[in-house]
Chain A
Amino acid sequence: MVPTNYYLILSAILFGLGVLAFVFKRNIITIFMAIELMLNAVNLAFVAFSQALGKTDGEVFVLFVIVVAAAEAAVGLGIIILTARNRRSLNVERVDLLKL
């Protein structure tokens, strides 16, 4: 049996990678994937706790997160397509209409 700590450490590493990619990448699709990575890191932590505590609450939450992620993917990809059409680019630094 793999100790819970290992799952948590893996989850933290994945989350940290997601954050770094979220901040430093320029491609919108990459950023979007980073968000997905963070969400799934959290999912991993949820199921790990659920396993460790012998309760199903964590798994229920994971299902919720997956549903939200699916909805977010639908909206997010729609935005990405529009951005790409309007600007002929996937670089977030080109999305700067609000800039002074």
Chain B
Amino acid sequence: MSSTAAPGAEGGLRTRQGGAPHRSAGAAVRPRPRRSRRGAGTLLGIVLVAPLILLMLLVIGFPLVNTVLLSFQDQGVVGTPSSFVGLRTYQAILGDSALWESLRRSGVWLVGNLVVQTVLAMATALLLTRVGRWSKAARTWVLLPWVIPTVAVAVIWQWLTNSNYGLLAKGLGVLGLDGVQFFADPDWAMPTLILMNSWHWFPLGTVIIFGALQTIPGEVYEAAKVDGVNAWQMFWHITLPLLQPVLFALGLVGTLWSFNIIDSIYLVTRGGPSGASTTAPVMIYDTAFKAFRASEAAAMSVAAIVLLGILAWLYIRFAKPEEV
């Protein structure tokens, strides 16, 4: 084929194979066509990406701008007429201790989910890497909690913990621990919700970590074994460092995702009992659609965006692993 190739194709082949000096030489001889090709490539790239950018602007940019504009108004019921009030809504919500309390609960929710999900996902992924029939089978059914719809997860956990017929409640009762009211006790509601949500989402982390574990060359472990390294040392000095980029990305996206979760909480406790599980998103939802104060809810959303942005920046700044 190369023998019958057109001159242009030959030139292209030469350029690809020739390395840097050839490219420089080619550029010196025929600069304009190269720039033109680069320009065409850039244009093609823009054309290909443009629909996605437009879509993103439409489905993310527009609601975001709308939310910011709404926060400077005094709208009550969503969609009703309103007038511009400047920063007055921000003054009101930032001076409200309930917002800060909900943000504190969001912090607890976020850290709790991060820790529990990461530990569960890591442990499960490590177990799945073991050779054996059970671990192979488990690779499928471990995904089960993930594919169950959130509403079903909420019902399952409510049934499990119901004091009259709940398996968990009755089981603890047999052990003499029948005083635990999982979703009805302010001290237990948040930890139980974190556990429920982590149970639902940890398979996602498991799949990602399991995939990353498969990319670690087996020779590294074999070499370590020859050097007499024990299992814990292998995990601490080999597995964990090599997983850091994946854990970092998982932590970042998972944290932001967890912060915004509302369905799991709302379906089970609606923020109760007595406000014990009212996180910031729950409060925003209630403010918009229960108290009918749309602008206040919008201002809270904007405040949450800013706060999350700062958190994300700090996370990236301080937790980003060294490039391997």
Q: Do A and B come from one complex?
A: no
On A, residues with C-beta under 8 Å from B are none
